Structure 1
Amino acid sequence: MKISKKVPALGSLAGLALLLSGCVQTKNGKPYGFVYDYLAVPGQHVMDWFANIFGGSYGWAIIALTVIVRMVLLPIMVKQMRGATVQQEKISMVRPQMTALQKQQKAAKTPEEQQAASQAMMALYRNNGISMTGGIGCLPLLIQMPIFAALYAAIRYSPELSSSIFMNIPLGKSSWILAILSFASYLLQGYLSMLGMPDDQKKQMRMTLLLSPVMILFFTMSSPAGLGLYFFVGGLFACIQTLIINFYRPRIRKEIQAKMKENPAPVVEPVVTKPAEPEPKAVAAKQTSVKNRNRNAGKQQHHR
Structure 2
Amino acid sequence: MLGGSYGWAVILLTVVVRLILLPLMIRQSRQATIQQEKMAMVRPQMTDIQARQKAAKTPDERNAISQEMMKLYKDNGISMTGGIGCLPLLIQFPIFAALYAAIRYAPELVNATFFGIHLGKPNLILAILSFLAYLLQGYLSLLGLPEDQKKQMRSMMIMSPIMILFVTFSTPAALGLYFFVGGLFACLQTLIIAWYRPRIRQQVAEELKQKAASAPKPVAATETPTSTTPTQPTSTPAATQQQQKKRNAGKQHHHHEDQN
Question: Which among 1, 7, 21 is matched to residue 73 of structure 1?
Answer: 21
Query: What residue in structure 1 maps to residue 91 of structure 2?
Result: 143
Does residue 62 (structure 1) correspond to residue 10 (structure 2)? The answer is yes
Question: Which among 111, 121, 130 is matched to residue 182 of structure 1?
Answer: 130
Question: Deviation at 1:198?
Answer: 2.3
Alignment of 1:204-243 (within 5 A): 204-243=152-191
Does residue 125 (structure 1) correspond to residue 73 (structure 2)? The answer is yes
After TM superposition, the score normalised by the length of structure 2 is 0.81
Q: Is the 1:186–1:238 contact (alpha carbons within 8 Å) kept by the matching residues of 2?
A: yes
Gaps of 5+ in 2: 217-260
Match of 1:188, as an amino acid?
A: L
TM-align CA RMSD: 1.2
Q: Is the 1:186–1:213 contact (alpha carbons within 8 Å) kept by the matching residues of 2?
A: yes
Give the Cα–Cα distance (whole angstroms) in 2 for the partners of residues 116 and 167 of structure 1: 63
Query: What residue in structure 2 maps to residue 32 of structure 1?
Result: none
Match of 1:100, as an amino acid?
A: D
Question: Deviation at 1:208?
Answer: 1.0
Give the Cα–Cα distance (whole angstroms) in 2 for the partners of residues 76 and 192 of structure 1: 19
Question: Deviation at 1:263?
Answer: 1.8
Match of 2:162, as an amino acid?
A: V
Give the Cα–Cα distance (whole angstroms) in 2 for the partners of residues 81 and 198 of structure 1: 17
Q: Is the 1:89–1:198 contact (alpha carbons within 8 Å) kept by the matching residues of 2?
A: no
Question: Deviation at 1:243?
Answer: 0.4
Alignment of 1:143-182 (within 5 A): 143-182=91-130
Question: Which among 198, 202, 219 is matched to residue 150 of structure 2?
Answer: 202
Query: What residue in structure 1 maps to residue 228 of structure 2?
Result: none
Question: Deviation at 1:199?
Answer: 2.1
Alignment of 1:83-122 (within 5 A): 83-122=31-70
Percentage identity across paired residues of the two chains: 68
Query: What residue in structure 1 maps to residue 246 of structure 2?
Result: none
Give the Cα–Cα distance (whole angstroms) in 1 for the partners of residues 154 and 212 of structure 2: 31
Give the Cα–Cα distance (whole angstroms) in 2 for the partners of residues 229 and 120 of structure 1: 48
After TM superposition, the score normalised by the length of structure 1 is 0.69
Aligned residue-pair number:
215
Q: Which has the larger radius of gyration?
A: 2
Deviations 1:140-196 (A, max 9, x none): 111100011000110011110010000100000000000000000000000000001
Q: Secondary structure at the match of 1:194?
A: coil
Match of 2:189, as an amino acid?
A: Q
Query: What residue in structure 1 maps to residue 247 of structure 2?
Result: none
Gaps of 5+ in 1: 1-52, 268-304
Give the Cα–Cα distance (whole angstroms) in 2 for the partners of residues 107 and 202 of structure 1: 27
Q: Which runs of 4+ in 1 moved over 3 A?
A: none
Deviations 1:230-276 (A, max 9, x none): 00000000000000001100001011111111221869xxxxxxxxx
Match of 2:200, as an amino acid?
A: I
Q: Is the 1:183–1:213 contact (alpha carbons within 8 Å) kept by the matching residues of 2?
A: yes
Match of 1:133, as an amino acid?
A: T
